[in-house]
A and B are shown apart, each in its own frame.
Chain A
């Protein structure tokens, strides 16, 4: 009983939100990207790029907010490579995504050596976004829910807002409608005079910026330094969240919370369970759940019809 209480408490839920935030951000980005018709398996790489530049920005200006902006810009610019390759050059989406993942890790390692003289982990920053943790007056006093949702750090609040924003974006805005059409039936969009290329560039760019923001969370909010490989497959788990969430922002958010919960749980199980079980078995828990969730849910959710397809206007009959 004591052990159970030690695991299942408010702290577990607070940790769930913290651990799920980067997944949520990347999953929403990937959702918008795939709704426009481009498969983006480079979320992991874009996240790494964002995390690195976030730290660089925060370190060299001393202002973590500038780090945040730089991370979003870097993620966005890096994602444009994917857009250029898949939309303009008509390259296979998976091939481009795989290449960009490798490129991201290579480029970041190179830059680390350049800036810090060694790969691995950077020096810590003095001032991170964690310093801006804000308990919303009143709301944060609500039992259980207060500490979970209303006493958090900036990017966590942003992630809540972005879930709502992108839901609204897809449902009520012209741009959202055009992006959905580009991912379902691109020629239908082109024939009424809206550029599919542009919509797909926008979709990819949004995913890159969201991945950048997720990266910033990892390096300058949840931590105070950048470590190679610190994304730990979260970009890929985000894709699982996108699929399990049925390609909707709210669905992606809920699925991300689930994966975050699994992650938070395994950390506590490692500490609390006093059995002769290797702790590695707990570490794989989130990944096993990812596979199980995707295998169980993927059948029921319907991907955008033109997801992963190339679009080219002029073809002979």
Chain B
């Protein structure tokens, strides 16, 4: 890919301002898109990238500013206008109707046929033609819910192409893909560019920017903080522009595993999912003190069920879980908390915090009835003053950015919410920590902090089980990597002896035959 600014400007956004009731999401943004180029919009979460693209796509009305297409000013009052002018967008959260077919989703809103009726025959034919032309293989009659995310993304791209898009906006396109699928996607994008489509990619991943794009705009706090030809900058420079300070991209791991007996021992564990099917099958796992075991896997391969079983939130069908030699398989969650087993759940909004409660209340949640420093002698009345003081200490210790501890947790940013959870769990000095998806949706700065905290307690000798869908995270933290596929641990790796490609292959069952070899 060579940078080719100097061609025709197909699209220009001038002085775009978008003011939400409480947030200034875009402040005077100017960007240009040249014909046939791949442009990255790089920025942290909340930097205003998606807002800007939603303005461009006609979903949001800009407070002020103008959009020019081929040099002429246009006003998009709805996505319909943007689509008719050749804009297509693949949203981060797919805009597909799960119970409809591929064809129905692709033609939705632009259905062929006369007098209000849909001509399904023509529609199917056109979908076939399109998928052939762009080498995007997909069955037109399959129901969306039956497709994997990689294929669903394909449908999204086809949807844009069906509407004859010549500017394609991709919002965080790789967030849910495996490394193999990412490669495929990049190939598809390159094919599209070759046919004359211009592409804008919204991302916060530096690798993607470097690998794919010709030019980059960096957004920070709603403003453009940098513009460059991608080839001319290093990842570190991009990161600095994005965060506004020096960032350590990879946290350094120190220390070595102990040879102490395992803290957590799982033997022949079987757990069923909500549909009453076995989701965790005959799973064995040991975690030693001071060790981080990372479980890699594509979403939906039993990770959730495993985590819930360990936390006693889900019934164990058979098998044994031991904590420091004690059988804890059928203990209650509360009893696990009393045994100093900490838990950072994947969904911080639903399971980690009570958003409408204050930071102070959230920082003692689950321990509020047991801690003597917090409770009166009878354990009936909570000592709110002490809770507040303790919480203030945690806010300082964990650098939680909040106007105060009496503010609802829902008012904090995602990163700071996660810090509240982490502070709560770590302040109880756990001996075992179960962390699932600790940095989902967080920006580089927050990820760096959370990772360093996890590594810190590992060095103190805590046994840690990490479940994450982000391979990068698994590699950054784990002392040992286990790959989970269809409810089984199919392969074990040491992070220094493998790479993301190899692990990715096992995650998708590419070498699944080994699974029964244990």
Q: When A313-B59, A316-B25 are in contact, do A174 and B95 touch as well, CB less than 8 Å?
A: no
**Which positions 73-121 of chain B face chain A at CB distance < 8 Å?**
78-81, 83-84, 89, 91, 94-100, 104-105, 108-111, 113, 116-118
Please tell me if B367 contacts chain A, counting CB pairs below 8 Å. no
Interchain CB contact under 8 A, A188 and B118: no
Residues of A contacting B111 in the complex (Cβ-Cβ under 8 angstroms): 174, 177
Least distance between B412 CB and chain A CB atoms (Å)? 15
Least distance between B83 CB and chain A CB atoms (Å)? 5
Least distance between A214 CB and chain B CB atoms (Å)? 25
**Which positions 187-202 of chain A face chain B at CB distance < 8 Å?**
187-195
Least distance between A190 CB and chain B CB atoms (Å)? 7
Interchain CB contact under 8 A, B117 and A188: no
Interface of B is mostly: loop
Residues of B contacting A194 in the complex (Cβ-Cβ under 8 angstroms): 80, 108-109
Please tell me if B445 contacts chain A, counting CB pairs below 8 Å. no
Which of the residues A175, A187, A189, A315 comes within 8 Å of B108, measured between beta carbons?
A189
Please tell me if A172 contacts chain B, counting CB pairs below 8 Å. yes
Interchain CB contact under 8 A, B109 and A193: yes
Contact code string A295-313 (vs B, CB < 8 Å = 1, else 0): 0000000100100000001
Residues of A contacting B99 in the complex (Cβ-Cβ under 8 angstroms): 180, 184, 302, 305
Which of the residues B22, B61, B105, B110 comes within 8 Å of A316, measured between beta carbons?
B22
Interchain CB contact under 8 A, A192 and B159: yes
Interchain CB contact under 8 A, B83 and A317: no
Of chain B, the residue at the smallest CB distance from A175 is: B116
Residues of A contacting B50 in the complex (Cβ-Cβ under 8 angstroms): 317
Interchain CB contact under 8 A, B116 and A173: yes
Of chain A, the residue at the smallest CB distance from B120 is: A172
Q: When A174-B111, A317-B51 are in contact, do A193 and B80 touch as well, CB less than 8 Å?
A: yes
Interface size class of A (residues with CB under 8 A): 20 to 34
Q: How far is the CA of A191 from the CA of B97 in the complex (A)?
A: 12
Please tell me if A185 contacts chain B, counting CB pairs below 8 Å. yes
Interchain CB contact under 8 A, B22 and A192: no
Residues of B contacting A181 in the complex (Cβ-Cβ under 8 angstroms): 97, 100, 108
Residues of A contacting B22 in the complex (Cβ-Cβ under 8 angstroms): 316
Q: How far is the CA of A68 from the CA of B304 in the complex (A)?
A: 56
Interchain CB contact under 8 A, A316 and B20: yes
Interchain CB contact under 8 A, A191 and B118: no
Interchain CB contact under 8 A, B96 and A314: no
Of chain B, the residue at the smallest CB distance from A188 is: B95
Least distance between B57 CB and chain A CB atoms (Å)? 7
Q: How far is the CA of A302 from the CA of B145 in the complex (A)?
A: 13
**Which positions 138-194 of chain A face chain B at CB distance < 8 Å?**
172-175, 177-178, 180-181, 184-185, 187-194
Interface size class of B (residues with CB under 8 A): 35 or more
Q: How far is the CA of A294 from the CA of B116 in the complex (A)?
A: 35
Residues of B contacting A192 in the complex (Cβ-Cβ under 8 angstroms): 79-80, 83, 95, 108-110, 159, 163
Which of the residues B23, B51, B118 comes within 8 Å of A174, measured between beta carbons?
B118
Interchain CB contact under 8 A, A190 and B79: yes
Interchain CB contact under 8 A, A191 and B113: no
Please tell me if B46 contacts chain A, counting CB pairs below 8 Å. yes
Interchain CB contact under 8 A, A185 and B95: yes
Q: How far is the CA of A73 from the CA of B367 in the complex (A)?
A: 59
Please tell me if B449 contacts chain A, counting CB pairs below 8 Å. no
Residues of A contacting B60 in the complex (Cβ-Cβ under 8 angstroms): 313-314
Residues of B contacting A177 in the complex (Cβ-Cβ under 8 angstroms): 100, 104, 108, 111, 118
Please tell me if B48 contacts chain A, counting CB pairs below 8 Å. yes
Least distance between B462 CB and chain A CB atoms (Å)? 34
Residues of A contacting B391 in the complex (Cβ-Cβ under 8 angstroms): none
Interchain CB contact under 8 A, A191 and B59: yes
Q: How far is the CA of A192 from the CA of B99 in the complex (A)?
A: 17
Contact code string B273-305 (vs A, CB < 8 Å = 1, else 0): 000000000000000000000000000000000
Residues of A contacting B61 in the complex (Cβ-Cβ under 8 angstroms): 314
Q: How far is the CA of A174 from the CA of B91 in the complex (A)?
A: 23
Q: List 29 A-B contacts (CB under 8 A).
A: A173-B117, A174-B113, A174-B118, A177-B100, A177-B108, A177-B111, A178-B109, A180-B97, A180-B100, A181-B97, A181-B108, A184-B99, A188-B94, A188-B96, A189-B97, A191-B57, A191-B59, A191-B91, A192-B80, A192-B83, A192-B95, A194-B109, A313-B59, A314-B59, A315-B20, A316-B20, A316-B25, A316-B51, A317-B48
Chain B residues near A (Cβ < 8 Å): 20-23, 25, 45-46, 48, 50-51, 57, 59-61, 78-81, 83-84, 89, 91, 94-100, 104-105, 108-111, 113, 116-118, 159, 163
Chain A residues near B (Cβ < 8 Å): 172-175, 177-178, 180-181, 184-185, 187-195, 302, 305, 313-317
Top 10 A-B residue pairs of the complex, sorted by shortest distance between their CB atoms = A193-B80, A188-B95, A192-B109, A316-B20, A184-B97, A193-B79, A316-B23, A185-B97, A194-B109, A191-B95
